[in-house]
Structure 1
Amino acid sequence: MNMLVAEQVAIFLHIISHHLKNRVTKHHFNRSGETVSRSFHNVLNAIIHLQDVLFKKAEPITVNSTDPRWKWFKNFLDALDGTHIKIRVPTVDKPRYQTRKGDIATNMLGVCTPNMQFVYVLPGWEGSVADGRVLQDAISRRHGLKVPHGCYYLVDAGYTNCEGFLAPFRGQRYNLNEWRQGYQQSTPEEFFNMKHASTRNVIKRCFGLLKLRWGILKSPSFYPSHKEAAQFRYRSFPYYDQLTAIYVKDRTTGKDAQTAADIIEEIDVEDIADTNTHEERNDFHGCEADVSLDDMDLSATQPQPARNQELFNYSFIPLQPTTLNVASKIMTTLWKITKQ
């Protein structure tokens, strides 16, 4: 694929920022739909390989901290919560992905630092599953969420209050909106809940900014999350919706939940398989080729100018300085991957 790495990154950022379909993007960049799709997945793989750079390391709040928001929670690591991201799934899977609000979504677990930097993310669980079950899966994985001894994460009342995870008092005022209305705490439990909500609110802000910045997270993706989805189109079955709502909703499995480390392992296995297949295709079964380099036409292998390079323009993609820094790291990683 004769295409600049910078253009591939621009295509990727353009799609996830504005939530555009493939056929719209290919006209913007004057590329084929296959090229757009391949570029998108190339950059996506590069981003996943950047997990050590993009994910920050958790550091507990020190005992001598004087910050008015964090000083109440010594050895506090990060804030933890789940959020729903709307997606498209086959009809047969909709009951498992249906949330309490009736949306078809996936339940994503996120952990962020006090300065709004993500530490851990586990996407892929069905929307109908309880947050506690997603957390249980996260801490039981080989590349899962780690809780250092003596430290803890702040969680809401939807999680169990146990070692390593500090939840608020149940049956007491908690939401920040209640405190903003001028209500004064009257018990130690309410005072604790107010400080807890103020501190844990950082993860809510992270989710809000993430969905505000990347348009692809605001509404169901145009890109199906299951390759088998096509076989279920335009098919009907009497009372299908009623039956699946009864028998399928509680059968959440989390089979599509993966961390970045899990995905990298799959990518590496696929790369090894592709390499072996390529070597087998180039195997002449012990025969030596009698064609020398002098007899070959090497003109087609010479670097060619990028197609429509003079027409390519990044001006319609407004990027913030932080996004530019990430894009630079993505380009470097993508270039290294393509050279392997």
Structure 2
Amino acid sequence: MTGVSRNNEDIPKQLDLGLSPGMGNTTKSTTLGHTAKCATMGHTAKSTTMGCTAWFSTRTVNCTTMGHTTNCTTAFRICQLRSQGVHNLSYEVRVELWNLENEQFEELVIQPSLNYYDQNFQKAPQRTGRGLGWRNIWNRLQEDDAACLQLLRMSLPCFTALCNILQTNYGLQPTSNISIEESVAIFLVICGHNEVQRDVGLRFGRNQETVMRKFSEFLTATELLACDYIRTPTTQELQRIPERLLVDRVNYPYFSGCVGAMDGTHVCVKVTPELQGMYWNRHDNASLNIIAICDFNMLFTYIWNGAPGSCHDTAVLTMAKESDFEFPMPPLDKYYLVDSGYPNKQGFLAPYRSSRNRVVRYHMSQFNYGPPPKNKEELFNRRHASLRSVIERTFGVWKKK
């Protein structure tokens, strides 16, 4: 066999007898372009086969091959047999070589792969007491009405009715581990207290992924619910005079064409630094400028929340009318009451404004803590503000929640 050095036969003899080439000396054999080195007494034995390197030491039971730990005897035996040439081996020795290589492949490749899979794809749950937090919360809510109002922003009967409606009509379903009540409570706590998902997960004993998933499921169901409960009035409904206005002897004769009140409000949001300039409002915080319409029963009939906080109320109204085909534009002889931030035009009745030469009061606080109206403009503004305050009271109740 060509390429085999004369020292090849010495290597197995030295290993079998436990001999060493000497204190610090090294015996080297080269076969088929590969190198095997063996050393004892604290020195290193090295074998290279087909471009793969294994380090051996007679004083240890393990060695490192390609960054992994393998048995020294197995690796060196493979190098020893390979150095003799596969075609020169007997059938029994070839079977031995094949078994040794399979054992080495399993140790170096298969087992590390299985360990990596177990560590990264078969993770153990972080919490063992799943649902324990919600059970404690639920017991507290059933015992203390004030705690229920503080946590969920609604009474327990109202909360139970909401859960039943969402499950019956809007597709929100429980799972084997999480009930409808817990899913609804997770959403209400996040929205009512402006808490992050991580903190809510700690409170309810759930991981963050579960909280995010349940929040999304409830949000989907709530969007369907909103379409039924925040219903845009039809043209025929806008033609009718509101019942609350009919019984208002002070305002009805003068505002018989009024079908509701409209105003904008700012809702704080968290945005990235590069978007803060767009969402920064006059109150020195980032917000959305929401426009809403309500009737005289303090029920929202329309909401549009697609404008950054830096937009003026007039611009928000223009966006809503142009982008939303469902905007409830009143008929020709009807109108919404708006404040002085909106223009006085068809469908929208604004109050009289002050000028350079004359101050015209408008807000109710100016009349409550001051003299009565001095002229017809202020009298109109006082009644206008009294009737339009329904939208401000509706905003107040909503934000209190």
Q: 1:139 aligns with which of 317, 321, 333?
A: 321
Q: 1:86 to 1:144 in 2, by over 3 A?
A: same
TM-score, scaled relative to structure 2: 0.50
Equivalents in 2 of 1:207, 1:164: separation in Å?
Answer: 22
Task: Identify which of 154, 158, 166 aligns with 2:337.
Answer: 154
* Residues 89-98 or 55-64, more deviating: 55-64
Q: Report runs of 4+ in structure 1 exceeding 3 Å deviation.
A: 56-60
Residue among 203, 206, 225 paired with 2:391 = 203
1:88-142 alpha-carbon deviations (Å, 9 max, x no partner): 1111111111112221111111111111101111113111111001111111234
Q: Which residue pairs with 1:184 in the alignment?
A: 372
Structure 1 distance, partners of 2:309, 2:251, is 31
Q: 2: CA distance between counterparts of 1:158 and 1:97?
A: 19
Deviates more, 1:20-29 or 1:81-90: 20-29
Distance in 2 of aligned mates of 1:38 and 1:91? 27
Matches within 5 A, 1:41-60: 41-58=216-233, 59=238, 60=240
Matched letter for residue 161 of structure 1 = N
Distance in 1, matches of 2:269 and 2:212, equals 19
Q: How far off its partner does 1:27 sit?
A: 2.0
Q: Determine the C-alpha separation between the residues in 1 that align with 2:278 and 2:250.
A: 38
Contact in 1 for aligned 2:232/2:328 (Cα 8 Å) = no
Q: Distance in 2 between matches of 1:84 and 1:69?
A: 31
Does the CA-based 8 Å contact 2:336-2:349 persist in structure 1?
Answer: yes
SS at match of 2:362: coil
CA offset digits 1:138-173 (Å, max 9, x no partner): 112344322231211111111110110000011121
Match in the other structure for 2:188? 13
TM-score (structure 1 length as normaliser): 0.59
Task: Please say if residues 76 and 153 of structure 1, whose CA atoms lie closer than 8 Å, have aligned partners that are also in contact.
Answer: yes
Supply the AA of the counterpart residue of 1:36: V
Distance across 2 between alignment mates of 1:146 and 1:154 = 14
Aligned mates of 2:193, 2:310 — CA distance in 1: 28
Match of 2:280 among 98, 117, 133: 98
Tell whether 2:262 aligns with 1:80.
Answer: yes
SS in 1 for 2:345: coil
Counting matched residue pairs gives: 213
* Unmatched runs of 5 consecutive residues or more in structure 2: 1-174, 355-359
Higher percent of residues as strand: 2
SS at match of 2:246: coil
Q: Distance in 2 between matches of 1:69 and 1:138?
A: 32
* In structure 1, C-alpha distance between the alignment counterparts of 2:200 and 2:210, rounded to whole Å: 10
* Residue in structure 2 matching 1:164, options 320, 342, 347: 347
Q: Secondary structure at the match of 1:115?
A: coil
Q: Distance in 2 between matches of 1:144 and 1:95?
A: 30
Letter in structure 1 aligned against 2:342: Y
Q: Distance in 2 between matches of 1:205 and 1:92?
A: 34
Post-superposition CA distance 1:247-290 (Å, at most 9, x none): xxxxxxxxxxxxxxxxxxxxxxxxxxxxxxxxxxxxxxxxxxxx
Consecutive unaligned residues of structure 1, counting only runs of 5 or more, are 214-340
Of 62, 67, 88 in structure 1, the residue corresponding to residue 248 of structure 2 is 67
Question: Comparing both chains, which one has the higher relative contact order based on Cα–Cα distances under 8 Å and sequence gaps of 6 or more?
Answer: 1
Partner amino acid, structure 1, of 2:191: I
Q: Between the two proteins, what is the percent identity of the paired residues?
A: 35
The answer to whether the Cα contact below 8 Å between 1:69 and 1:199 also exists between their aligned partners in 2 is no
Calculate the aligned-residue CA RMSD, in Å: 1.9
Q: Does structure 2 conserve the Cα–Cα contact (< 8 Å) formed by 1:69 and 1:198?
A: no
* Matched position secondary structure for 2:339: coil
Residue 161 and residue 73 in structure 1: after superposition, are their counterparts in 2 closer, same or farther (change >3 A)? same
Mapped to 1, the partners of 2:305 and 2:250 lie a distance apart of 29
